[in-house]
Structure formats: C-alpha cells, structure tokens
Structure 1
Amino acid sequence: MPTQNESPYVSHVFVCSNDRGGERKSCADNNSQLIKSKLKDVVREKGWKGKVRISTSGCMGLC
C-alpha cells in the first residue's frame, strides 16, 4: 500500500479573500488581503518560512 506524502509545513493558514462585489458583506470588505500580507510578514520575521504557509482561499462559510 503506498504511503501518503507528509506536508513539509507544520501549519497551513487559509485567509479568505472572497469579494461579493458589494452584494453582501464579505471578507474582502474587511482587509483580508492586508491581513494575509501581515501574516506573511510575521512568518518571515519569525523565521518560519518553509514551516508555516499562508494561502488565499475563497469563502469557507465561517463569517
């Protein structure tokens, strides 16, 4: 039975960047791109690059 490859990351953070174009509130209305950028800065400052991954996602239904 083949083994599944493990992720090289300790943590993978998804930041929603969904933009509903003003129809309803969405994460893009609350500076989600800025939040993602700041999180990436923290990862670099802490030396976590290669251990923590920050990714953009669509709506996850949490808001």
Structure 2
Amino acid sequence: MKYKKHVFICTNQKEGGKRCCGEEKGMVLVNAFKEAIKTRGLQMEMRAQKTGCLDACNFGPALVVYPEGTYYGHVQPEDVQEIVEQHLLQNQPVTRLVLPY
C-alpha cells in the first residue's frame, strides 16, 4: 500500500435540491484535509481526495478513512485538525463523528 492513510471525502452533487455532501462543504473539506496533510509534511504517507457518493447522504458531509474503513459524518471544516491529529496520526478515531456502519 502506498499510503498509510487515505481519506476519501464525498463531493457528490445531486439534482433537484436533494441533500448531498458536495453541497454541504465537500470541496472545502477536501482542501482543508490536503492543506493539513501538506502542512505537516505527510503527503508521501497520507492522501486526501474527493470521491463520489459514499451512500451516507443523511449524515453529510461524509468521509471515510482507509485502510480502517472508518466512516465519519456531519464533518465540518473545524473538525479537520482533530481528525488529522487524532485519527490519521494517532490511530484513534474521533468517536463523536464516527458513523455506526
């Protein structure tokens, strides 16, 4: 595996006003995770990127961290630093945001 941690952030867009992560800060979160990883010099070990629907629309904005497969919901830009520090660096999921999948 190339990366120790891989963060996929939903940026899906739905038609007709349906709730979706892309409308709820998807790309803001992608950029925040990328910046947090880059600032710490971790871009060779960790990656954040946009993805399509994670089928967690009711919990959006949503993301998943691999290799664990930990799903997060209701993630806001102010949660990014906590997820990076606690989960990506210390392998401790941020339990208040973890989805029960």
TM over 0.5: yes
**Which runs of 5 or more structure 2 residues have no equivalent in the other structure?**
58-101
Structure 1 residue ranges, 4+ long, deviating more than 6 angstroms after superposition: none
Matched, 1:27 2:21: yes
Q: Deviations over 1:7-44 (max 9, x none)?
A: 12100100001000343100011111011001000000
Aligned residues: 57
Q: Which structure is larger by alpha-carbon Rg, 1 or 2? A: 1
Whole-angstrom distance in 2 between the partners of 1:11 and 1:37: 16
TM-score by length of 1: 0.81
Matched, 1:60 2:47: no
**Which runs of 5 or more structure 1 residues have no equivalent in the other structure?**
1-6
> C-alpha displacement at 1:62, in angstroms?
1.8
TM-score by length of 2: 0.53
- Please provide the CA RMSD for this pair: 1.1
